[in-house]
Structure 1
Amino acid sequence: MSITNRMAIFYIIILVFSIALCTLLYQQIYYRITSDKISEVSMQNLYSIRTSVEQTIDNLNNYSKMTLANDDLQYTLRSGNIYTDLVTQKRVHEYLVHLIEAVPQIESVYFFDSHSNEYMVGNLGINQFNLSDIKDAGWYNEVLEHQGSYILKLNGGGAFTRDTNSNFVSMIRVVRDLNSIKPIGILILNIRESAFKLSYNNILDKYKTDVTLLDENDESIVKSGEASVRDMEHYLSLSGMKEYDSRIEKRNGAQYLYSHLHDSNNNWKLVSVMPIEELLSESRSVSWVGLLIILVNGILLFIGSIFISRILTNPIKKLLRSMRSIERGEFKQVDIKAGHNEIGRLRDGYNMMIHEIQKLIGRVIEEHNFKRKAELNLLQAQIRPHFLYNTLDSINSLAISGRTEAVSEIVEALGQYYRISLSKGKEVITIGEEIEGVRNYLKIQKIRYGDMFDVSFDIDERVLDRKILKLILQPLVENALYHGIRAQGEPGTIQISAKYAPDFILLTVEDDGAGMSEESLRKLLDDELNANAASFGVKGTLERLRIFYGVDQICTFESRVGSGTKVTIKIPNAERNEDAI
């Protein structure tokens, strides 16, 4: 039997088997890929919803800050009795009425003086405070511990009588005297349920999606559709403490995609339920097209193999012998004598392909280096505003307090800091310039916090002229101040040192503040980089160091609860510049 006939018979057997196998595998792979894409879309929707919810809360938080800074409200609460000065009380009332009219998300506003006297503006028919003394509220001690930052409680945490037809979320915070920073009252903003519904109304009608927003106690804040609470609780129990998860579960004989996303800022959860059948039905035609393509291609390949095998067998063998070098990973052009027929064009096409592969490999290497540099620039662009926002907030606080000289000092220090940090677009500066930038940063924070912290520097003069990636010490010093000393609640010390060694330079930032547990430290080092996370400055610094110096373990952390934190950076003692990225 000829080779051509043998190839035809063998191909028929392989074709039948491969079509059956490919059909089965295609269906399985298609279902899995579709499910993964659906899960990805579901998670993207939840991330969008979380961002919208957080933006809503941030906007209302800004309105609450504006309310706290109102001069009339400060004066009224500072007196100790909100009913002492009726003229001022009237102005406060007018301000709050205008606030509620301008911000429809706010249903009502309550504030309480130091004697638990209550004053409210809003809908008097529902959501009334039902405690005789605000100190009896279950969240009272919690809001005091937050020292001025807000807490969120569903339906006022049981302190309000409420309309059972709708929910509301209470934003509760301590009112501080802007002059003495002492607590002088409590402010409560009751946020309508509709404020959160607007975050994802555009998703609810798509694919019959059911989205539920849960608070820290897994109680529904805003619930849409008819999702089974029991099924949802079962899904959350399977997901455990994961930040996000997706899985397919059966409910009433049908398959549903359950997805959840944890909002670490408010300890809330977003849960979505999407019917799988509804989603797969739209793409089922694509599946049939894919199967048809497999079948048609198989038939065409069979017909073509009969003709091609007769004229290509011998020339192909010659071509294969010339292409053996590819098996050894050598991409070399072949040289066979085949004239200008099809085999010759195949040879020319193959040689052109090898040439393009060589060019592509070079391009991939070039793009990889460009990507590393772009990644570094992106991280640096993200970390610069991180300090500016905090400084502007400090300037705002000083301006409100009337401390004009301090405002002048902090603005001057800020200008000196950014002259160093910008460095005319250079990403590499001397250690001396980096230390000077840290001194300006601490000068700014010293104006704000006074005697809350002391600073000591131990700098080896031999390292001052050494080049270093800029803006790596400031995020660590900021972390030591905010999450170390400030979290401790009492004065502390930050120690900054730079030591010289022949092969490396040791930079150390150490504080005697609150410290971190092993779990918190592990989470800081293991979590993915997130611009919204509290640890973004430290994580961004570690990522920049890793990219720039190409060393994974360049930074070490030592910390214990109550004993402070020590961060050590081991920089290779070799000159680098921006072109080395």
Structure 2
Amino acid sequence: MGSGAQKEILNLFNDIKTRFMHLGLKKKTVTFVMCTFIGTVLLASIVFGVVYTNSWRSTVVNHVKSMETEKEENIRNYFDNMDGLAYNICYSNWMQDIFMKSVSIQRRQEMEENAGDFLGSLSTLYEGNQFAIIALNGTRVTGTDSYRLDYNVDIEQKDWYEELIRNGKYVEAGEGSDRGIYRNHPEWNMTIYYVVHDYNTLERTGFMVITIPLKNINKLLDTSYEGTWLALEERTGGVICSDIPDNPDLESRLEELPYRVTRTENRYFTSKKEIDTEFFRWDLITVVDEKYQTMNNPMMVLVFVGILVLVGCLLIVVAAAVSRYLTNPILDCADAMLEIRNNNIGIQIENTYFDEIGELIDGFNEMSGSIYSLIEKNKMISTLQKNAEIKILERQINPHFLFNTLEIINSLILNGKEKSAVKVCETLGQLYRYNLRQNKWITLREEIDYTMQYLLIMKYKINDLTYFCDVDEKLMELPFLKAILQPLVENSIKHGFQRKQQECCISINIRKHNENLHIEVMDNGGGMEEAQLASLNEEIYKIYENPMERLAEETHIGIKNVVQRMYLEYGEAFRVKIISTAGFGTRIELEIPEDGGRREEKAYV
């Protein structure tokens, strides 16, 4: 098919699709149901044809394989039975006596007559198989055809004698008078030689010979199946027996037959299977005429029933599809409205409809886009307002810290500790150089160093001040908001140690808790009364309610400043807890996401 024809077909398909989509709902439903019914009938016909063909071929192939397995098992069992029979005869007590040399002539004659009768009975029982005993003491006994026994045959002079002695058994098969131990038998036969030993001394005493005529091999291939033929071939290519009919086309096909089931160009299925034993290797050839085979497959009845059920089910599916065509866009609109409720603003629904449903979807998309534009505008204004508020909060910290530090320097100079005052001034300079950095985010290591420098200055003011910092080294490089720990430490010094006379201690502990960063700042200062703690928690709650509101210039400005900045940055992911007991101290616990500055910005609208 040329590219021009393909293009015409594609254009025709697109034209039909466009016309269908522009139909009204009623016409669209009727057209869809009719097309689905026709498609269902065609599909059912194709499926039935494929299933029927595969089932038919599978039936014939399974028949061939079953026949091969059955005949191979028959052949193996037959020769295993011959082996067992030979060994039972050779090593029976009365047969061992025949091979003995120290037996009187009269006794030997009696034993030979009895053995001949017994071997003759076996020959009759096994449908013409001939059994013979050849002892090294000169005794030769056969059950039937004793007049044809060739007394000139010397097994020890055979080319294969060494192999017989080595293996204890040798199989000689073929046609010709030079084979076997009987005269005048030009037809094909199989002769099996067994070495016999004295079971007391284990000395070799003679041989047992079983001759199997061709007709008994033919019986192993008998089958009652009409249209099924079998043949046995030697690996060299010679035919042992065959009931395959003369057919020139079939004969040429059998010459290069593979070891698997194949179908010829006509109606025949053929196969070759190797029968490999320790002493012979044959090929079993199976030919089956498919016209004689009946398909024994109850699944075909189910296929017919299944087709009818399929048609019914597909009609139900058609009805469901029509219903889905009408309800899906409505459900999509409902899901989109739920997404908008969950702050997924601006969601759009793909519109592939050109009827009344398409108009409904277009209206929804237009409404969603308008809402998205309005909220984005408010979000931008809110973000600008939040950034300005954060900068104001950061500037609130510096005056408090500078005032406290200048008091320390003044006190050191008045007490004549100029060197200490110089040290404090140098540290103060390092802190303010740090504050001049415009970075909103720093590492946790930088924040801790900044706080330790502050505590070093405070130690000049509070002689009994001790401080501890316990932070996992793995957390040191995490992103962290600037100026968070220092205001909390400053709050402990200002309010906790104001009237404390004994040792003052501050502890900073930062660890990972689940996927969050858990921060604790604890002091052993004066603590807070229950009313003070309740008032502080109420003010913190107000920050959660309205994080954009300016903080009042009251007590605990450092704590509230930190809480407001944290909430503006992390939103509901930020948690704070203050535990305080009057006379024992205060513990402030903060919990923030571990990813820090990589958190997605949240707009407050």
TM exceeds 0.5?
no
TM, length-normalised to structure 1: 0.43
Larger Rg: 2
TM, length-normalised to structure 2: 0.42
